[in-house]
A = this chain, B = another copy of it.
Amino acid sequence: MDILNRYKQVRKLTEAICAPLQTEDYVVQPVVDCSPPKWHIGHTTWFFETFILKPYFMGYQEYNTDYNFVFNSYYESVGNRVIRTDRGNLSRPTVAEIYRYREYVDEAMERFLCAEPPTGVKELLILGLNHEEQHQELLYTDIKYILGHNPLFPAYDKNYASPKTEQVEGDEFIPMAEGIYEIGFTGDGFCFDNELNRHKVYLNTYAISPQLVTNEEYLEFMNSGGYHDFRHWHAEGWDWVNKNKIQSPLYWHIINNEWYNYTFHGLGPIKPDDPVCHISYYEAYAYASYKGMRLPTEFEWEAASSKFKWGKSWEWTESAYLPYPGFAKASGAIGEYNGKFMVNQKVLRGASEVTSPGHSRNTYRNFFAPYLQWQFTGIRLAK
């Protein structure tokens, strides 16, 4: 597929994700970790305008100079940013105005992409598309948070269907031999800077589960007092549980002694066989400890990833998010993409039901702070 078609396809998908929303749903920001959907729509547009059209498309007329202030995210080198907690306070630009901005930029991009882009720009463009795919996932995450925290529990889309993934048979742990493994991206396609350099690691013998932990298994942990037994928890996790009175995964509600959860279809009873989802790293660790096992490191995960099916939910690993040997930041604003977050975050591997098709791969490294439940996160055990 040529780059222009790829561009159109990615941009359309973003809009399709937002299609079931009411105007009001685009505006709110219930917690600081979320962004309003309209901000995602504007920010992904601003990315192409700022990093491609303004520097490389001769004669391009910036849409609105104030928008840099509104739609910048964390790119310190591009100017002051609206502090993140303020995003949910901005009623203007309106949703319609932002879609006009999006249309304006898309039109310019399409004209720009009629000709072969200069060297280096194609790489930027592909980065921009991968960036937008990350925001597609965040859109689903934020939309779920916005609707799932509304006291009316509105459905996102009654016809929403999560992508099918191949069913794995059996739950025998997969044994892995001690030795040197190669870790990190290799090949011709796109990867993020944090997947490089490919390098050797030495792994001890281990075994990894072919299955994700299910709701039913997690309920067992809950019912046996898992949230009340400090021995399973990190000191920091224990404080988090008590301070926030956490008793279950996010979106779970107990009604007449039965557990329900909010999904894109609205509020309904827990499905016992589904993988447990929306748990923090602290909870994943505590569950593993309760089972007398542990989470895999990201290297163990990657080394074994061809031997099991993955893609239902992002899987917490025991690994901290750190640079690989030889990791180098790009210069300029693009260099702020990954490196500056490499402290106090945990690596997630795999992909989730809301990851855009083709976006992830077995060397892909996602990362979040250990207390966050709002992602589509699950548990795979190792020992």
A interface list, Cβ under 8 A from B: 22-30, 38, 66, 69-70, 74, 76-77, 82, 86, 88-95, 146-147, 149-152, 154, 180, 199-202, 204, 206, 230-231, 233-238, 281-282, 285, 294, 318-320, 322-323, 325-326, 335, 340-344, 346, 370
- Say whether B22 contacts A24, CB under 8 Å: no
In Å, the complex CA distance between A34 and B235 comes to 18
Whether A322 lies near B319 (C-beta < 8 A) is yes
Partner of A89, one of B28, B90, B237, B370: B28
Contact of A234 with B342 in the complex, beta carbons under 8 Å: yes
Do B89 and A340 touch across chains, with their CB atoms under 8 A apart? no
Please report the C-alpha to C-alpha distance between residue A77 and residue B230 in the assembled complex, in whole angstroms: 8
User: What are the residues of chain B within 8 A of A281 when measuring CB–CB?
Assistant: 343
Residues in B whose Cβ lies below 8 Å from that of A93 = 152
Tell me which of B23, B199, B335, B340 contacts A233 (CB under 8 A). B340
Q: Which residue of B lies closest to A29 (CB)?
A: B89
A322 partner, pick from B70, B320, B341, beta carbons under 8 A: B320
Chain B hits for A340, CB < 8 A: 233-235, 238
Taken together, the copies of this chain in the complex come to 4
Asked whether, in the complex, the Cβ of A202 is within 8 Å of the Cβ of B180, the reply is: yes
Residue contact A200 to B199, C-beta cutoff 8 Å: no
Residues of B within 8 A of A95 (CB): 23-24
For A204, give the chain B residue with the smallest CB separation.
Answer: B325
- Give which listed residue, B27, B154, B320, contacts A320 with CB less than 8 A: B320
Chain B, residue nearest A318 (CB): B322
Question: How far, in whole Å, are A91 and B26 apart by their CA atoms in the complex?
Answer: 8
CA A149 to CA B90, docked complex, whole Å: 8
Residues in B whose Cβ lies below 8 Å from that of A236: 341, 343-344
Q: How far is the CA of A151 from the CA of B89 in the complex (A)?
A: 11
Extra contacts, 19 of them, besides A24-B38, A30-B89, A91-B150 (Cβ < 8 A), are A23-B24, A23-B94, A24-B94, A24-B95, A25-B92, A28-B89, A66-B151, A69-B151, A89-B150, A91-B146, A199-B204, A201-B201, A235-B340, A235-B341, A236-B341, A236-B343, A236-B344, A282-B343, A320-B320
Interface centre among A86, A180, A340, A341 (most CB of B within 10 A): A340
Q: Are the C-beta atoms of A24 and B231 separated by less than 8 Å? A: no
Known: A89-B30, A94-B23, A343-B236. A202 touches B201 (CB 8 A): yes
Contacts of A23 in B (CB 8 A): 23-24, 94-95
**Which residue of B27, B74, B201, B335 contacts A91 across the interface (Cβ within 8 Å)?**
B27
